[in-house]
Chains A and B, each alone.
Chain A
Amino acid sequence: MSVSTALPHSPTAVESGFDVERIRRDFPILREFVHGKPLVYLDNAATSQKPEVVIDAIANYYRHDNANIHRGVHLLSQRATDEYESARKLVQRFLNAGEAREIVFVRGATEAINLVAQAYGRTHVGPADEILITTMEHHSNIVPWQLLCKQKGAHLRVVPINEAGELELDKFERLLSSRTRIVAVTHVSNALGTINPVKDIVSLAHARNIPVLVDGAQSAPHLAVDVQDLDCDFYALSGHKMYGPTGIGVLYGKAALLEAMPPYQGGGDMISSVTFEKTIFNKIPHKFEAGTPHIAGVIGLGAAISYVNEIGGSAIAAHEHELLNYATRTIGAIPGVKLIGTAREKAGVLSFVLENIHPHDIGTILDQEGIAVRTGHHCAQPVMDRFCVPATVRASFALYNTTKEIDALAAGIEKGKEFLG
């Protein structure tokens, strides 16, 4: 995915030496056939495919280095610990976090948000307080806050979006009240592709001393993210959406906030000492990493970040930007297609509905053509309600997609119209 507005000084994908055919060879799954047709994978906002280097990194860890971390004097434990902590430093640099201890490994963006809702929310949110989210949140940035509100007697407030799927920033400002305890907002909408003005949101909230959590599940894979520049207090991402394995994600939190927060879960590795009378918790980030973590997942995520770094974030962004523009033109021009989500600032998500054809039916037809898209509400039911549609078809792009694949999507849609129309 990429920013759809023109980036005047950024090189085009071709100029920067981006070779999509070479990249495609790095992803073994792209050689698969589906129903006898070459796989056209356009469901990257759900999960991305994995390059060989990530698959190898995970296998090699289990083959050669497997041991538990942060304990044991033996060599394998030291190697595993080194690889695990090196990956933390890679994530730190990837997000431009100030310190590696601000990077907490979790299962995914969902767990990161739950961690903040519980560990931060437990101590900072009380009866009649307010939590501010937006209409375009994924369920994972709605439900953890609803749970907290129920526990604490607090209220959820929701910032509306306009017809293009953009956040109404003036209404956001008006909804910030003296009772607002935290703002939780997605960086990029998974259902619409909208890129939110997170920096403006943070500065408006900080002017009132309100911390901001950014759901970065859809931005980390596709935009250059600098958490210090955004000045957000928390940032959540999922490894599997950025060419890494499932079951691993990251919570970035400002050190002072993380230090002041109580633990999320108790267990091994998150303590300094334990007696039945008193337990002293470990320092951050270990305080939030109870139990043996997903070591292979962390190592795989590290390999994914190295892979992305090697190709270059700006080259990927330029390529995905071209894909989105091409898809918007090509798919948008098909009679009967209505695009849902036409924000000026957009990342590579194309959500649409077809006149008189349900998304689920077109999804089945496309599948028969080897084309994988998502159909449904994309875990963002309030977005569907906002646009009065039960579901949409969503094509979402990654660095290995091509304009030829978008042509295949267009042909599949035409076939579906003919078949079902």
Chain B
Amino acid sequence: MADLRDMYQEVILEHAKSPRNFRALQEPSGKAEGYNPLCGDRCTVFINTRDGVINDVSFEGSGCAISRASASMMTQSLKGKTLEEAEKMFHSFHDLVTGQNKDANQADIGKLKVFAGVSEFPARVKCATLAWHTLQAALHGNSAPITTE
């Protein structure tokens, strides 16, 4: 039996209550909207990049504790990263929460490893990945809202 604390780690609950970078950027170089039709979570990700580096990233929206914490911690960990690094982090994070490739070195995602417990709760994987899918859309300039379904 999976333990709830495996997923709802203290740091995750703390970010869910006080999300960081929870605001809009005034003139973002990229912006995308994400939607999880299963639970009604909505997330807008804003980014500013210069010379292939993410200067600033923020988000707005409403959602469950996992999706808010994931978005909050994603924005924290992306600042100053190159686009290639961000891409790698997305894949590592995805593998982490879907329980794939558990043995791989996930050093590149650092603190985000607290989300490993999500893999024990398959119904919640989309909550954790919503912000990251939305980030992908923002980076690649997709204007159509993305959905997790």
Contact = CB atoms under 8 A, between A and B. Distances in A.
A201 interface: no
Interface string A355-390: 001111100110010000001110001001000001
Interface residues of B, number: 21
B39 A375 contact: yes
A360 B39 contact: yes
B123 interface: yes
A368 B64 CA distance: 17
B127 interface: yes
Contacts of B7: 364
Contact of B64 (A35, A36, A361, A419): A361
B39 A376 contact: yes
Given A358-B63, A420-B13, A420-B65, A364 B42 contact: no
A331 interface: no
B17 to A, nearest CB: 8
A358 B64 contact: yes
Contact of A390 (B42, B123, B124): B42
Interface string A241-282: 000000000000000000000000000000000000000000
Given A358-B65, A360-B124, A361-B64, A419 B4 contact: yes
Given A358-B64, A360-B127, A361-B66, A419 B8 contact: yes
A364 B40 contact: no
Nearest to B126: A360
B40 A377 contact: yes
Given A360-B124, A376-B39, A390 B4 contact: no
Contacts of A360: 39, 41, 63-64, 66, 124, 127
A420 B8 contact: yes
Interface in A314-353: none
A358 B130 CA distance: 16
B121 to A, nearest CB: 6
A36 B1 CA distance: 8
B1 A364 contact: no
A364 B38 contact: no
B39 A391 contact: yes
Interface of B: 1-2, 4, 7-8, 13, 37-42, 62-66, 121, 123-124, 127
Given A361-B8, A368-B4, A390-B41, 11 more contacts: A35-B1, A360-B41, A360-B66, A360-B127, A364-B123, A364-B124, A368-B1, A377-B37, A390-B40, A390-B42, A420-B13
